[in-house]
Amino acid sequence: MNKWMTGTMVVGGLLAAQGAAQAQAQSSVQVYGLLSAGIGYVSDEGNGSRTHALSGTNQNPRIGFRGQEDLGNGTKAVFALENGFNVMTGTASQSGRLFGRQSYVGLSSNDKGTLTLGRQYEAVKDLLGPVVIASNGVHIGDNDNGYNNLRVQNAVKYVSPNISNLSFTGLYGFSENPEDSNRNRVYSMGAGYKVDAFSWAVAYTKMDRPNSPDAPNGAIGNDYGSSLLIFNKSAVKGAGVDSQAIAGTGGFYNVGRTKFGALYTNVRYHYLDQSNLTLQNVDLNVNHKLTEALNLGASYFFTTGKYDVINKTPKWHQVNFQADYFLSKRTDVAITWSYQKAAGDATFARVFGFGASGGKTQSVLIVGMRHYF
């Protein structure tokens, strides 16, 4: 090897090292996550009381990686990879996906907003989900996706910057069916307003032929087949869902140490047998920071449904109470009690995450802990 080649390699190596150092200085990657588990007692689950070891009592467990690279002029490359798992068994959640909670990459600009591509959250979860989470409960069958059981694959998403206290978001999830782009597609949009102690949002999401066998790689995957989503089959013939449309509005108002939340959602299922179900959810909640370590929460929500073909009107009432005590900034323990009553034409109660009751009432007592890292 001659001296010129040797010198070139040395200079090139130094430049590469310098470039890597600069890239490292302008980039950041964070590893984060949480663990949550506990014990739950159910008063009536299939005509008998039950006690369960539970994963995700305070919040669903996860481990993730997120990062950014500064591209200059207020623009960054961003990414997130987030895995969900069961603490009690160590198995992957979200139907066994490696990064089932989130997996996306995109660009973010201070004045132009953020554009991302991948498996992502839709507008109802982003804008209205926080109200449901603050209720320390889930609307029956998570019919409005407030608890985020459904994520959108093959999605392109835009989130605007804050403009006069307003922000906007829009998402489109591709079908990947070359013959019919309407099969297993999703579109979603929403807007949020926040000023001082007040925040409010509106959102809409439409899923066409979710989890269609004709578009298995489309926007909504096999998460849609979860037994927790009790309205994903027609009550007439057990047919699947042709479309699900979710519209809602809600928000918060803070008064000192107390936060008040309210939410209304309207969900319409159109089934493949041409029957329809409309569900309406009303959610009211309050959370009070009694001390720096102790948070108290209470909520009530009401769900009323209407089947058009069988002329049935099921209804459910649910109350939730929680005391959450922080042992440190990263570790807390909580006790939650939920009570649900079926009314109207509803024949069972079913607090989310548990089996249906044999009668028309069900109560659940959960004690659990959570640790962030």
The residue with tokens 């998403």 is 157
Q: CA dist 38 to 5, 57, 350, Å?
A: 64, 6, 19
What's the pLDDT score for residue 26? Answer: 78
Q: What is the pLDDT of residue 166?
A: 98
pLDDT at 7: 43
String of b and e for 258-270 (b: at least 16 CB within 10 Å)? ebbbbbebebbbb
- State both tokens at 290: 């009694």
Mean pLDDT of 130-141: 97
Confidence label for 8 from pLDDT (cuts 50, 70 and 90): very low
What pLDDT is attached to residue 197? 97
Query: What value does the mean pLDDT take over residues 260-274?
Result: 98
What local confidence, expressed as pLDDT, does residue 111 receive? 95
> pLDDT tens-digit profile of 283-294?
999 999 999 999
Structure tokens at 244: 């699900």
Return the pLDDT at 16: 40
Mean pLDDT of the chain: 93
In the prediction, which pLDDT does 10 show? Answer: 35
Q: Which two tokens stand for residue 158?
A: 């835009």
pLDDT above 60 for 3: no
Q: What is this structure's pTM?
A: 0.91
From CA 273, how far away is CA 242, in angstroms rounded?
A: 9
pLDDT tens profile 239-252: 999 999 999 999 99
- pLDDT for 341 equals 98
284-325 pLDDT, tens per residue?
Answer: 999 999 999 999 999 999 999 999 999 999 999 999 999 999
Q: Per-residue confidence at 116, pLDDT binned at 50, 70, 90?
A: very high
Q: Inform me whether the pLDDT recorded for 18 exceeds 50.
A: no
pLDDT at 28 over 60: yes
